[in-house]
Each structure stands twice: as C-alpha cells, then as structure tokens.
Structure 1
Amino acid sequence: MLCGASSCKKENTEPNSSNPNVLPPLTHEGKNTFGCKVNGEVWVAQMPFAVGGAIALEGTYYTNTNMMYLVAKRKLEEEGKFDRIDILVENLIQNGDYVMLTDDNQMRGFTDYEGNYNCSTYRYNDDLLRRVIITYFSPSQGIISGTFEMDLINPSCPGDTIRIREGRFDWRMTVY
C-alpha cells in the first residue's frame, strides 16, 4: 500500500516561477519572475534549459534617461508556443503609476513566434490601456517590481485585440 501511495502525484498549484499554470506571487526581492493572463490564459515567463543559460526575463534600466525596457519570453516546446511580452516605461524614478511608452505605435507589446494567434505581432496604441504600477523601485539593490495591464492591437488585423491582465513582475535589473 505504501508503494501505491508514493506513486500518486498531486499537481502543484502553488504560485511559483517554475509552474506555467500559476501566476508568480507579487514579491519585491528581485526573483526574476514575470506572469500575467493573456486573453484569460495564464502566461508565465520561462525558457527551456540551455548550456549558456536560458534567459526568460531580460532588459535594462537606463539611469541617464530613467527608462526601463523589460522583455519576458516563454517557450513551451511541448505545446508549440514561443512568444514574448515587451514593456517600455520612461521617466521611471520612483514607485507609482506609469503609462507604457508607445514609440509612435511601433513598440511591440506581444510577439508570437509560433503562429498561435491571428497575428504575429501586437503593438501598443495611444488609445488603448497600457498601465504599469511600480510597487518597488531600488536602483541601488537593482530591483524593480510591479504590476501591469495592457490592450494590444495589430493594425493589419482589424478588431483583433490581445488583452493582458493581472500582470506582475519582480525583476533584478541590469542598470546602465
């Protein structure tokens, strides 16, 4: 009976960065976590193991311009998914509410490399939601944490919008 009981597996539903079905917790420790819901489905940044080190979360905070550029990548080989989410915020100097930079509507917010969405690239637009709330900001510790939500479009696919909600990140940033 003990052998039979030890072979049972319970699905882990605790929030952590290694479970792609559960959003990571809201933390302020530089844990390099990133998650959100894309059109209602959980999306967690993660990349498969690589010898050089797979990087699921990367970007830069530029001290001379107070700009944060953050890229989260997800590759789920078994499901045929490889996509990324980009966040660009300017004038970031303290905790608070920010609007993502649209870069003349050319800034991409979501890119699908495997064709799982109607369009491959969705962009920010001045008329749509694109909000970031920085909840922890410490350049001396190299940590930025926050929440975000956005609506993204592809002008080539009228009426097709990606809605990203319940976003959160806790990033140990590269400072320049």
Structure 2
Amino acid sequence: MKTLKTLSLLLFFLPFLVSCAKEKLTKATQTGANTFSCKINGKVYVAKTSLLSPGLTGGLRGAPGRYEFEVEAVVYSSGNNDNYTIGLSSGPGISEGVYPISSGYVDPNTGYYIRYNPNNATINFTHIDYAQHIISGTFSFTAVNTKDANDVIAITDGRFDMKN
C-alpha cells in the first residue's frame, strides 16, 4: 500500500518536475544534426518541431563558388510557453569564417523585429561540407521592433548544425 501511495505521488508530481527542467543550448556539433538554439534577452530557446511547423528549415543553398546560407527556425523556451520565429541569411560566396548577416528577423507574434546594426550581426561558419550539404556555426545580432524603436532584443549564443 505504501509503495502504491509513493508511486501515485511520483506520477502526480512528475509533469511538474519535467516542466521545471532548465532548457540548455543545443550541443555545438558539426555532423548535420539539424539543431538550432540561441538566447533571446538571456533566455534559452531551442528549435522544435510542432504540429504547425517543421521547426527548422533551410541550410546551404546555391552552387560551388556561390553558396549561401539561409535558415528559418521556430524556437521555444522551456515549457514551450513562448516562441519566436527567427530567420537568418548570408550573402553568396561563403566559406568557413565570420560574415555579416545579410538579413535577419525575429517574429514573436507580438511585433516584428529586424536586425538593425550590421556591426552586431554576424554568423561564424565553423564547418561547411559542400559535398554533404552540412553547415554549422554560431550567430548573434540585435534587433528592433518595427512598431516601437525603443523595443530592442538581443539574440546571443546562437548555434546551428544543419544538413539539407
């Protein structure tokens, strides 16, 4: 009877314990793991597939000598209560190294943010395998709400590892 009571309590509290788990950034891999994560104003967000969204699309695009990168990710905070759609792209002709983000946006469904300072908007391609279409790296940028110029968010510690 005591075991049954203990098991019942554990089953009751298990969802609360799981939902309180602190979200972590995805591992910085270079294998084409199709991962994407970042911090938005210091809070961790991770790309996840849902019924309405594949979670992560894009990758390496183009042809030799003209390859570029574009990605769109739907990222969720711990508990999946709030989410953002983040889009990034680079210009053509990329290889491993640091590049400015040619376009970037964040859509939290409450206002539309765009990157506004190219000096603070970079992608560091840490691994590119053109034959396997694997691209990995890090990114960061700041963005301003198009409806309120005083509403600025910081996207930091971003990382991705994609294969398309």
TM-score category, normalised to shorter length: 0.7 to 0.9
Give the length in aligned residue pairs. 154
> What CA deviation, in whole Å up to 9, does each residue of 1:65-108 have, x standing for no partner?
322111111367x7553421111011343211111004xxxxx4
Q: Go from structure 1 to structure 2 and tell me whether the alpha carbon gap of 1:58 and 1:20 turns closer, same or farther (over 3 Å shift).
A: farther
Matches within 5 A, 1:1-176: 4=6, 7=10, 11=18, 21-49=23-51, 54-64=53-63, 65-74=66-75, 80-102=81-103, 108-113=104-109, 115=110, 120-173=111-164
Q: Which runs of 4+ in 1 moved over 6 A?
A: none
In structure 1, give the amino acid aligned to 2:107: T
Q: How much does 1:60 deviate?
A: 4.2
Q: State the TM-score, normalized to the length of structure 1.
A: 0.73
The alignment partner of 2:148 has SS state of: coil
- Percent identity between the two aligned chains: 25
Structure 2 CA distance, aligned partners of 1:93 and 1:155? 29
- Where in structure 2 are there 5+ consecutive unaligned residues? none
Greater per-residue helix proportion: 2
Q: Go from structure 1 to structure 2 and tell me whether the alpha carbon gap of 1:167 and 1:92 turns closer, same or farther (over 3 Å shift).
A: farther
> What CA deviation, in whole Å up to 9, does each residue of 1:28-59 have, x standing for no partner?
11111100100011111113247xxx511101
Structure 2 CA distance, aligned partners of 1:85 and 1:26? 19
Q: How much does 1:63 deviate?
A: 2.0
In structure 2, give the amino acid aligned to 1:58: T
Greater per-residue strand proportion: 2
- Where in structure 1 are there 5+ consecutive unaligned residues? 14-18, 103-107
